[in-house]
Amino acid sequence: MHTPDTSHYLFLCASTREPGHEGNTEWLARQAAAALPANAQQTWMSLPRLQLPAFVDQRHTTGTYAPPEGDLKTLLDATLAATHLVLVAPVYWFSIPAPLKAYLDHWSAFLRVPGLDFKARMAPKPLYLVTTSGDRAKAQPMIDSVQLCAQFMGMPWGGALWGKGGAPGAVAQDAEAVQAAARFLSAG
Ligand SMILES: Cc1cc2nc3c(=O)[nH]c(=O)nc-3n(C[C@H](O)[C@H](O)[C@H](O)COP(=O)(O)O)c2cc1C
């Protein structure tokens, strides 16, 4: 009998390339997504296209945060609706791009929105990272930092898919990465 797939993958793209210019990281993530079962739901969002407010640390003043509004609410709702979270982020300065950092900083606020229960609702969602950079060694600090975020949140670590990037199209020449992409999300 056919079992409906209730998986819902949210792909959060953080490359800051101009609109209409697909980068290496998104291209590699789309190879991984193409191997998902046809009935698995996919949502793709570009973090740099969203208007997110600056994060303010209110932990030791008000201690709580109001429920988010606007694009931040849209992003939170998409995050909570997903069963699997895939961060699609090139290496920038051995780290994650600023739009992804802004999103993750807001997790600190989401954890303190009364009644949201953010941590418990995130805990079952595996966290994956798709990344590209000039060489693999330079991606390690960023991979480690994302894995530690998953650990802090009690989210299963889905692993990192790395490819050799550069100018758009470069990662398509990385045969190992393209092969790994086809298997990357299959365990989830
Ligand atoms: C601001 C910036 C910082 C970067 N820092 C690094 C780095 O620290 N190490 C590295 O190997 N590549 C670095 N790169 C190169 C990118 O990681 C690489 O070109 C990547 O494939 C770009 O991804 P995209 O095509 O998905 O936008 C940097 C690129 C930019 C724009």
In this structure, which residue's CA is closest to atom 8 in ligand 1?
A: 93
pLDDT in tens, 22-64: 999 999 999 999 999 999 999 999 999 999 999 999 999 999 9
**How far apart are the C-alpha atoms of 70 and 93, rounded to whole Å?**
30
Distance 114 CA to ligand 1 centre (A): 38
Q: Is the CB of 131 under 6 A from ligand 1?
A: no
Q: Is the CB of 126 under 6 A from ligand 1?
A: no
Domains of the chain: 4-184 (3.40.50.360)
Distance 166 CA to ligand 1 centre (A): 7
**How far apart are the C-alpha atoms of 64 and 120, rounded to whole Å?**
17
Residue 177 near residue 164 (C-beta atoms within 8 A): yes
Q: What is the DSSP letter of 141?
A: H
pLDDT in tens, 121-137: 999 999 999 999 999 99
pLDDT in tens, 103-160: 999 999 999 999 999 999 999 999 999 999 999 999 999 999 999 999 999 999 999 9
pLDDT at position 186 is 86
Q: Is the CB of 136 under 6 A from ligand 1?
A: no
Q: Any residues with CB less than 8 A from the CB of 113 and at least 6 apart, and which?
A: 64, 65, 66, 67, 68
In this structure, which residue's CA is closest to atom 29 in ligand 1?
A: 92
Residue recorded with tokens 């298997």: 183
Distance 43 CA to ligand 1 centre (A): 24
